[in-house]
Amino acid sequence: MATVNVLTNLSLITVGAAVIALGAAGTAQAKTYTEVGDAGKTLKTAQNLPGGINVIKGTISSKNGADLFSFFWDSGRFKATTVDGASFDTLLELFDSKGTVIALEDDSKGTAQSTINEFLDTGEYFLGISSSPNLALFGINYGTIPGSSSGDYSISLNKKTASFPKPTSVPEPASIIGILGLGAFGLTSVRNRKQQAAVKA
Question: Taking the complex as a whole, how short is the minimal distance between the CB of residue 137 and Ca ion, in angstroms?
Answer: 14
* Comparison of 58 and 85: residue with beta carbon closer to Ca ion: 58
Interface ranges with Ca ion (CB under 5 A): 38, 58-59, 67, 89, 106-107, 112, 132
- CB-based contact 142:134 (threshold 8 Å): yes
Question: Taking the complex as a whole, how short is the minimal distance between the CB of residue 102 and Ca ion, in angstroms?
Answer: 18
* Comparison of 89 and 93: residue with beta carbon closer to Ca ion: 89
* Comparison of 74 and 142: residue with beta carbon closer to Ca ion: 142
- Between CA 168 and CA 172, with CA 170 as vertex, the angle to 5 degrees is 135
Question: Taking the complex as a whole, how short is the minimal distance between the CB of residue 186 and Ca ion, in angstroms?
Answer: 53
Question: Taking the complex as a whole, how short is the minimal distance between the CB of residue 113 and Ca ion, in angstroms?
Answer: 6
Q: Which of 55, 57, 48 is nearest to 30 (CA)?
A: 55
Question: Taking the complex as a whole, how short is the minimal distance between the CB of residue 25 and Ca ion, in angstroms?
Answer: 31
* Comparison of 74 and 107: residue with beta carbon closer to Ca ion: 107
* Comparison of 83 and 102: residue with beta carbon closer to Ca ion: 83
